[in-house]
Chains A and B, each alone.
Chain A
Amino acid sequence: EVQLVESGGGLVQPGGSLRLSCIASGFTFRTYWMTWVRQAPGKGLEWVANINEDGSEKYYVESVKGRFTISRDNAKNSLYLQINSLRAEDTALYYCARDLRVFDIWGQGTVVTVSS
């Protein structure tokens, strides 16, 4: 079964950090781009970042540049998002997705809440 499972979310104070993880199964992870998309409570979808097959290309939405870092470990079929200097506006459900420029497989997401 093709599957993506995120983890690592939680409650963090403003300025804090978290590392989100996404484990892929059921497809050849190392041959696909991967993406993170977030959704603030009751709001729409926002693309956050993506990474190419070998991790040599990474792209970010402007609002997270310098604070978020996307990475991957193909040996572990894993995608990561290191999120630093967290702000209240980063509070959201974070999804990982397989990236064909469109997103055909999504995980269930992991919740990040930034609050003091």
Chain B
Amino acid sequence: DIEMTQSPDSLAVSLGERATINCKSTQSILYSSNNKNYLAWYQQKPGQPPKLLIYWASTRHSGVPDRFSGSGSGTDFTLTVSSLQAEDVAVYYCQQYYSTPFTFGPGTKVDVK
């Protein structure tokens, strides 16, 4: 199974500042035949189901603000919130969909400083 790790466990960022979350997989999730990274990011606010933010490591899902961006390849990935808004307070999860069982990272909690 592919294990996903995230860092940090939590972070507090001032409104308008940048938040950066890292995600690592225990093996490459870059599929060579299509050069796509099978990595997604989700946002989960308290009492709500997760919401898909980004897939293919860097493609924003429909309706996701452009302050959210994803980058990385192979085993190392980053989610960046370029200018944190109050409504971005949430737990963020990465997920690999390269192979089953699909696996999630443990989550990173983002708060306002």
Contact = CB atoms under 8 A, between A and B. Distances in A.
Do A and B form a real pair? yes
Interface of A: 35, 37, 44-47, 50, 59-62, 95, 97, 101-104, 106-109
B104 A45 contact: yes
* A interface SS class: strand
Interface of B: 1, 38, 40, 42, 44, 49-52, 55, 61, 93, 95, 97, 100-107
A47 B44 CA distance: 15
Main secondary structure of the interface of B (DSSP, over half): loop
Contacts of A109: 49
Given A97-B49, A106-B51, 11 more contacts: A44-B93, A44-B104, A45-B44, A45-B50, A46-B104, A62-B101, A102-B95, A103-B40, A103-B95, A104-B61, A108-B49
A103 B50 contact: yes
Contacts of B105: 44
